[in-house]
A and B are shown apart, each in its own frame.
Chain A
Amino acid sequence: MTIALRLAQFVFLLLSAPLLLGAITRLKAILQRRRGASIWRPYAELGKLFRKEDLVPGSASWLFRAAPRLAFALTVTAVAFLPIVWSNGLLSFAGDFIVLVYLLAFARFLMMLGAFDGGSSFGGMGASREAMVSVLAEAPLVLSLVALAVAARAGSLTAIVAWTGAQDFFNISVVHVLAFAALTLVAIAETGRLPVDNPATHLELTMLHEAMVLEYSGPSLALIEWAQAIKLNLMIALLIALFAPWGIASGVTAGAILLSIGLYVVKLGIAIVAIAVLESCVAKLRMYAVPEIFGIAAALSILAIVFTLMMKR
């Protein structure tokens, strides 16, 4: 029974990813007083891309086609560690949050290789920008997750979430507030959202992620877009699980599971509204202003680590 639940939440997160993207785009359109496309459009787009031909540049090697497939597989594997509506992830072992971070980093590295392999100047430009962002984002991401693990005295995401869930809502710890701030900043950058990257544009000079995948088409592009949507869903689910896990089901009763699903949808809704409002309010940062965000995130996560020493247990 529990293994079925773990599997169900894993599959749910993978399949709901395009819907999340569609909901954010629709809400942004409404906020900008446009009607916007249906929230199901990303599925239609993926279906269209899967049916199209996969064009490969003449100069590219096997790596060009392998990169998006491997990156997709790695992103999907990373999802397996997350507790979402059920308190255990599909996979769980001590130190799995570090594996999660580096699975995502590996996926990104493969995408960069693929972009260079494509041979266009835009691919290389996008890849080198992406490399800069990911190098800067890695330290705050790992540090804030480590701070949470130390605060919870636990090694796996499942155990950290269980510990946070047992805490009192009023008794917020400094570590969690600081790590939340740092992780949110990093999540925005990692998923290529505004103000670090603009997911809606193909304007050459401002692109990060979009420049990197410019050469891809057909099923490869579909896998890239899907992986990107999954990554956004993963980051939101990670933030919810780490900082607001209250109500997550741990008993196998229908009531607890339904309550957990309901609460999760509410939390997800809040996240969607927050992202849509934020993205409608801010403009994209200049490329040179991006390191500042990571500087702030790094300062916050280091402070979070320092505060784990002072926390009373």
Chain B
Amino acid sequence: MRIINFAASQAISSSAVLIFLTLLLLAASRRMSNCISLFAAQSAVIAAQVFATAYAHKSVAALMVGIMVVLIKVVAIPYALFQLVKRLHTSRDVKASIAPAGSVFITAALIFISYSAVQSYAKDLNVARDPLAAAVAIIMSGCFLMTSRNKALMQILGLLILENGIFMAALTTTFGMPLVIEIGIVFDLVMGVFLMGIFMFRIRETFNDLDVSKLRKLRG
């Protein structure tokens, strides 16, 4: 029992490290399928953190949220994205506009910036610094992934990663939002992926490509 208590208390601070690792790997990877797997791994780390919080605070609502995160973000959405990649018959490349090494450098810088940004804030709010910095870093690198990858699928994935960051920020500062709101957010997310999936097919039909840099042809 003691070891479980200890693991639960450490999971919250250690998960930040694993999240940084997924962010750096996301910046380095060039294949769509790797990015999706990494997103699933990142969601799994966050789910573990929710479970640890649920255990520490003995809250059933948090447990439900954790189960929901596992079902939707670790299983359902990555599965849907894999299906999307398969059905769209596109190349495996994410079409990065920056070389992998450059992306990793920028992500490293973003992690550093997020640490220095939350430094004083975390002290005032009396919350753990590492998870909050990780949350900010996820949000920023989600934005970075959206802007630096030309494959339209990466825009969905960037948005999902960004949402992971917001979820984690809520988790660390207020120990999660009320259950009803969480359900609403997750439902929103599922619908978002669904709609954007349809949108992808439309983009490919119109432009014969999923490269967003080619969408400029729309200009009249």
Q: Which residues of A contact B (CB under 8 A)?
A: 168, 170-174, 177-178, 181, 291-292, 294-296, 298-300, 302-303, 306, 310
Instruction: Name A173's closest neighbour in chain B (CB-CB).
Output: B17
B14 touches A292 (CB 8 A): no
Residues on A with beta carbons closer than 8 Å to the beta carbon of B7: 170
Interface with A: B97-105, B194-202, B206-214, which one?
B97-105
Residues on A with beta carbons closer than 8 Å to the beta carbon of B11: 170
Residues on A with beta carbons closer than 8 Å to the beta carbon of B105: 295, 299
Instruction: Name B130's closest neighbour in chain A (CB-CB).
Output: A174
Of A171, A173, A300, which contacts B24 at CB under 8 A? A300
Residues on B with beta carbons closer than 8 Å to the beta carbon of A292: 99-101
With known contacts A296-B101, A299-B104, A174–B10 Cβ distance under 8 A: no
Q: How many residues of B contact A (CB 8 A)?
A: 25
A171 touches B101 (CB 8 A): no
Interface with A: B32-40, B107-115, B146-154, which one?
B107-115
Residues on A with beta carbons closer than 8 Å to the beta carbon of B100: 292, 295-296
B17 touches A170 (CB 8 A): no
Instruction: Name A180's closest neighbour in chain B (CB-CB).
Output: B21
A300 touches B104 (CB 8 A): yes
Of A170, A298, A303, which contacts B112 at CB under 8 A? A303
CA distance A103 to B21 in the complex (A): 31
Residues on B with beta carbons closer than 8 Å to the beta carbon of A298: 101
B20 touches A177 (CB 8 A): yes
Instruction: Name A293's closest neighbour in chain B (CB-CB).
Output: B101
With both chains docked as a complex, state the minimum distance between the C-beta of B45 and any C-beta of chain A, in angstroms.
12
A295 touches B21 (CB 8 A): no
CA distance A306 to B114 in the complex (A): 13
CA distance A90 to B21 in the complex (A): 35
CA distance A310 to B13 in the complex (A): 14
B68 within 8 A of A: no
Residues on B with beta carbons closer than 8 Å to the beta carbon of A294: 101
In the complex, the 7 A-B pairs of residues with the closest C-beta atoms, listed nearest first: A295-B101, A170-B10, A299-B104, A303-B108, A299-B105, A296-B104, A177-B17
Residues on A with beta carbons closer than 8 Å to the beta carbon of B108: 299-300, 302-303, 306
CB-CB contacts below 8 Å: B1-46 with A: 6-7, 10-11, 13-14, 16-18, 20-21, 24, 28
A181 touches B21 (CB 8 A): yes
Residues on B with beta carbons closer than 8 Å to the beta carbon of A172: 14, 17
Besides A299-B24, A303-B112, 8 more A-B contacts (Cβ < 8 Å) are A170-B14, A171-B13, A172-B17, A181-B24, A291-B101, A295-B101, A295-B105, A296-B104
Instruction: Name A294's closest neighbour in chain B (CB-CB).
Output: B101
Residues on A with beta carbons closer than 8 Å to the beta carbon of B101: 291-292, 294-296, 298-299
CA distance A32 to B60 in the complex (A): 48
B99 touches A310 (CB 8 A): no
A295 touches B102 (CB 8 A): yes
With known contacts A295-B105, A300-B104, A171–B14 Cβ distance under 8 A: yes
A174 touches B17 (CB 8 A): yes
Residues on B with beta carbons closer than 8 Å to the beta carbon of A170: 6-7, 10-11, 14
